[in-house]
Structure 1
Amino acid sequence: MVLMKMYEIVEAYLGSAIKNDVVTVPAYFVDSQRQATKDVGVIAGLNVMRIINESTAAAIAYGLDKKATSVGEKNVLIFNLGGGTFDVSLLTIEEGIFEVKATAGDTHLGGEDFDNKMVNHFVQEFKRKNKKDISGNPRALRRLRTACERAKRTLSSTAHPLIAC
């Protein structure tokens, strides 16, 4: 149902019917998971032409944007850091041709891991500066985690986010 609804939204946005589809999956998906994803697409009424990695799709979008201005071969490394996973793809782009050199993923590394490290770091910093341990205070930890998540997102657009301890 979700795929069909997304399909309807895209067709309405484009103002025309979609005949062929490319579906993205996490880089760590094995062949059986890729096939299951394709099967779900077919059940939803999609004409799935290809299954590609999410990070590869990002590289393709990057390459399409740069195609007119770039000359020669470009090596592109795409990172996709999700909440609980990390994917990476290495591609070569030359004259509109994309060649995937390598792709990999880690299901045990993601944004939550960074959040946890940041929270632990700032708990220790607070303890060092204020001589007070907040590790047993759920409310303080919740507020600190929210501040760390906000700082992590801010790093996407600025080099120095501020987290007050």
Structure 2
Amino acid sequence: MCYYKAIQKEILEMITLVANDQGNRTTPSYVAFTDTEYLIGDAAKNRGAMNPLNTNILRIINEPTAAAIAYGLDKKDEAEKNVLIFDLGGGTFDVSILTIEEGIFEVKSTSGDTHLGGEDFDNRLVTHFLKEFKRKHKMNLSNNARALRRLKTACERAK
């Protein structure tokens, strides 16, 4: 068995998939763990209010919130503001609207396109410059692996 399969098997043995109210396997927004059980959804959300002294609240933030913090939006002022975050990754394009007030980030809405990302821009640039090179020099470089690799690297750097 290859190392990848062995690691995958160990990870799958360690995780538990949680079903939501409709029976779908999802990652819930709120999860709470006690000595005897785990709570999901509103029950977990309300746990902190019911037992604030013995509750350790941990938060996981999404990518747009992390980008906003990295940009320094958490330190600018205390007034409430709405922020639009664009996250153009290698393979996806995500947009989120956040409200920031007194250092608290609340995601109002998020959407994305899994078929648009930096790699798509790279490919379009490569295609464009292949056509330009062919038009100017009457040579087709699309079958030259070395030239394609160099062109792609140049397009990535230019972007």
Category of TM-score, reference length = shorter chain: 0.5 to 0.7
CA RMSD, 1 decimal: 2.6
| Structure-2 residue corresponding to 1:134 | 141
Task: State the 1:107 CA deviation.
Answer: 1.9
TM-score using structure 2 length: 0.57
| Structure-2 residue corresponding to 1:34 | 27
Aligned AA for 1:52? Answer: I
Task: State the 1:125 CA deviation.
Answer: 1.1
Cα 1:151–1:48 change in 2 (3 A) is farther
TM-score using structure 1 length: 0.55
| Greater Rg by CA | 2
The 1-side partners of 2:119 and 2:81 are apart by: 32
Task: State the 1:113 CA deviation.
Answer: 0.8
Q: 5 Å matches for 1:8-157? A: 32=25, 34-35=27-28, 49-61=58-70, 62-66=72-76, 70=77, 72-152=79-159
User: Which structure has the higher relative contact order (CA within 8 Å, separation 6+)?
Assistant: 1
The 1-side partners of 2:57 and 2:78 are apart by: 32
Runs of 5+ consecutive residues of structure 1 not aligned to the other structure = 1-30, 39-46, 153-165
Task: State the 1:126 CA deviation.
Answer: 0.9
| Structure-1 residue corresponding to 2:49 | none
Whether the 8 Å contact between 2:90 and 2:118 is mirrored in structure 1 is yes
The 2-side partners of 1:112 and 1:34 are apart by: 28
Aligned AA for 1:147? Answer: A
Aligned AA for 2:112? Answer: G
The 2-side partners of 1:127 and 1:115 are apart by: 18
Runs of 5+ consecutive residues of structure 2 not aligned to the other structure = 1-23, 32-55
Percent identical across equivalent pairs? Answer: 71
Count of residues in correspondence between the two structures:
109
Task: State the 1:32 CA deviation.
Answer: 4.3
Whether the 8 Å contact between 1:34 and 1:51 is mirrored in structure 2 is no
1:80 match: secondary structure? strand
2:140 match: secondary structure? coil
The 1-side partners of 2:91 and 2:128 are apart by: 20
The 1-side partners of 2:78 and 2:134 are apart by: 53
